[in-house]
Amino acid sequence: MLDRVLTRKLRQIVGEENFRDDKEALVAHSYDGTPMLQSLPDGVIYPKDTYQVAEIMKNLAFYSVPVVSRGSGSNLCGGTVPVHGGVVMVMHRMNQILEVDLENLTATVQPGIITAEFITHIESLGLFYPPDPSSMRISTIGGNIAECSGGLRGLKYGTTKDYVIGLEAVLASGEIIRTGGKLMKDVAGYDLTKLLVGSEGTLAIITEATLKLVPPPKSKKTMLAMYKDLYGAARTVSRIIEAKIIPATLEFMDNPTIRVVDDFAKLGLPRDMEAILLIEQDGDLEAVERDIERIREICEAESADRVEVAESREHAEKLLTARRSAFTALARLRPTTILEDATVPRSKIADMVLRINEIARKYNVSIATFGHAGDGNLHPTATTDARDHDEVHRVEQAFEEIFEAAIELGGTITGEHGVGLVKAPFLEWKIGKTGIEVMRGIKQAFDPHNLLNPGKMFAKETRKRVVITRG
């Protein structure tokens, strides 16, 4: 329960209907896209501008009430579940494109704008904003920035961090900072812009962002390669890069995923394939055609069983269907779907996939893996049932071992979904004790009273590492 005086003040700041503490609103902001997590906040607030955010923060700080900033609540790490109660701040009303600067090729937006709406607008101006998380039709730019989201175009074009060049943010105290600007170069002090990208709502509330735009590629070609040998697929990925070709998309699906997708979409995929690679290249027509031809040769040299290059846009759409259906197909299999994003150096993909399959067998759970092969960013996806506690426990054990395996192969516990609540106990595995201390120091400097998204990123205690027994 919030203090009565505080709620009155909050209502004064945003207006009666933009602060809610009725049961309905609390329940509807108690969860996000992460399975099996729920916790009720004490209030929900919808600010309309930076000034309101600052005023809200001053008051919350005075009463020491925690705040969880929220875009569309589509994250997969428990990032917006208010585990310590407090106020959920929904950014949807701050959804304006403030400016598109054609001379500097930048766009300045409020954080609540939906990613796909922003992209559509930018493309209508003949420009290009590459970060395209699969959730872009629902996610907000603010959420993308706070999670440093990636997408299918990450390999060639980078992720959100590569496009954020300036920010306005409100600190826990209610003070406003501005970082970066419409600048392609800026070394004035520490790079606070990059620090806020991926900060998961734990350092500041982002209220405005300046994003870099690029000219769009002129053409695009799509192809599909299938392998009976997982290592052949993995070697193909490395060879392509070695040949100094950076494809726009280089996606991967393993055998369990292929089977599920085929059952669902009835595409007639060969079910004995160990891997499918979906490859796209974009750019000037001539260069694209040359690259695709070269990639085809590499696929064949690495003994791909089948290589298919799209002849037309419709054909390309058909090839894309398999990869696009992966998530839907898996989601329909069982009631609960847990999507993770362990990431390894691109050269270790085959090892990682084999380890995942081995671990799934060991714990007798079903895990299918697909993902962004070019980035080494895999999505091992477990399908289970939240009501089966025994199985869920085994899934959790399996994922712990998968994280461990990823780190052992020189990888990380999360490539693009963020740490949030669910991976906080594993953060130390990746960055070590010193890393945690440095990060805690940064948190302290921004938010000394731990009001911004408490409980996230830093766990009460680090998970004991599992001893890996092979086989």
Partner 1 sequence: MANGNAERSIQNKPAIALSNPMSKTLQLKLDYDQLTNCMRCGFCLPACPTFKETGLEQESPRGRIALMKAVADGIMDPDQAFQDQMNHCLGCRACEPACPADVKYGQLIEQARDAIEDHDVHSVPVKGLRKVFFDGVFPHRGRLKWLGRSLSIYQKSGLRKLVRGSGMMQLFPAYMREMEQILPDATAKGVVEQLGTVYPAKGETIARVALFRGCIMDVLFSETNVNTVKLLSEAGFEVVIPTEQVCCGALHAHSGEMERAKDLARTNVQVFKDAEIDYIVSNAGGCGALLVEYDHLLHEDSEYRELAEWFASQVIDVSMLLFEHGRIPAFAERNACANEPVMVTYQDSCHLRNVMKSSNAPRQLMKQVANVNFVEMKEADRCCGSAGIYNVTQPEMAGQILEHKMEHANRTGASYLLTSNPGCLLQMKLGALKHGVSGQMEVKHVVDFLYERISEIK
Ligand X SMILES: Cc1cc2nc3c(=O)[nH]c(=O)nc-3n(C[C@H](O)[C@H](O)[C@H](O)COP(=O)(O)OP(=O)(O)OC[C@H]3O[C@@H](n4cnc5c(N)ncnc54)[C@H](O)[C@@H]3O)c2cc1C
86 binds, among partner 1, ligand X, none (CB under 5 to 8 A by kind): none
Residue 375 lies near ligand X (rule: CB under 6 A): no
Residue 113: CB minimum distance to ligand X, A: 10
Out of 7, 52, 80, 179, the residue judged to bind ligand X by CB under 6 A: 80
Residue 68 lies near ligand X (rule: CB under 6 A): yes
Out of 121, 228, 332, 430, the residue judged to bind partner 1 by CB under 8 A: 332
Size of the site for partner 1 (CB under 8 A): 58
Residue 66: CB minimum distance to partner 1, A: 13
Residue 31: CB minimum distance to ligand X, A: 10
Burial of 469 (0-12, 13-18, 19+ CB in 10 A): exposed
131 binds, among ligand X, partner 1, none (CB under 5 to 8 A by kind): none
409 CB neighbour count, 10 Å cutoff: 19
Residue 67: CB minimum distance to partner 1, A: 16
Residue 53: CB minimum distance to partner 1, A: 17
DSSP for 421-447, written as a single string: TTSGGGHHHHHHHHHHHHHHHHHHHH-
For strand 336-339 and strand 377-384, is the pairing parallel, antiparallel, or unpaired?
antiparallel
Give Cα 125 distance to the centre of its chain. Answer: 26
Residue 74 lies near partner 1 (rule: CB under 8 A): yes
Angle at Cα 338 formed by Cα 344 and Cα 269, nearest 5°?
A: 75
387 binds, among ligand X, partner 1, none (CB under 5 to 8 A by kind): partner 1
In whole angstroms, give the CA distance from residue 276 to residue 237. Answer: 11
Out of 3, 22, 272, 297, the residue judged to bind partner 1 by CB under 8 A: 22
CA torsion sign, 28 to 30 to 33 to 37? negative
Tell which residue, 470, 208, 456, 241, has the closest CA to residue 346. Answer: 241
Write down how long the chain is.
471
230-242 vs 285-301: helix axis angle to the nearest 10? 140
- What do you get for the CA distance between the two ends of the chain, in Å? 51
In whole angstroms, give the CA distance from residue 266 to residue 273. Answer: 16
Give the C-alpha distances (Å, rounded to integers) separating 328 from 152, 286, 308, 333, 334: 16, 35, 24, 9, 11
Residue 387 lies near partner 1 (rule: CB under 8 A): yes
Residue 267 lies near partner 1 (rule: CB under 8 A): no
Residue 465 lies near partner 1 (rule: CB under 8 A): no
Helix or strand or coil: residue 280? strand
Residue 119 lies near partner 1 (rule: CB under 8 A): no
Out of 107, 109, 114, 457, the residue judged to bind partner 1 by CB under 8 A: 114
206 binds, among ligand X, partner 1, none (CB under 5 to 8 A by kind): ligand X
| Contact yes or no for 363/370 (Cβ under 8 A) | no
Residue 402: CB minimum distance to ligand X, A: 18
Residue 283 lies near partner 1 (rule: CB under 8 A): no
Residue 141 lies near partner 1 (rule: CB under 8 A): no
DSSP state of 118: H
Residue 160 lies near partner 1 (rule: CB under 8 A): no
227 binds, among partner 1, ligand X, none (CB under 5 to 8 A by kind): none
Nearer residue to partner 1 within complex by CB, 65 or 165: 65
Residue 217: CB minimum distance to partner 1, A: 26
For tokens 């260069």, what's the residue?
A: 287
Q: Where are the beta strands (DSSP E) in 105-235?
A: 106-109, 164-170, 176-180, 205-212, 219-227
Q: Where are the beta strands (DSSP E) in 97-227?
A: 97-101, 106-109, 164-170, 176-180, 205-212, 219-227
Burial of 246 (0-12, 13-18, 19+ CB in 10 A): middle
Residue 200 lies near ligand X (rule: CB under 6 A): yes
Residue 377 lies near ligand X (rule: CB under 6 A): no
Residue 406 lies near partner 1 (rule: CB under 8 A): no
Q: Which stretch binds partner 1 (CB under 8 A): 100-108, 297-305, 392-400, 444-452?
A: 392-400
User: Which 291-320 positions form the footprint of ligand X (CB under 6 A)?
Assistant: none
Report which residue type is found at 440.
Answer: R
Residues that bind ligand X (CB under 6 A): 32-33, 68-76, 79-80, 91, 111, 133-135, 139-140, 142-144, 146-147, 149-151, 200-201, 205-206, 327, 416-417, 453
Residues that bind partner 1 (CB under 8 A): 22-25, 27-40, 46, 72-74, 83, 85, 90, 92-93, 114, 116, 135, 137-138, 327-328, 331-332, 335-338, 385-387, 389, 392-393, 395-396, 399-400, 421-426, 459, 463
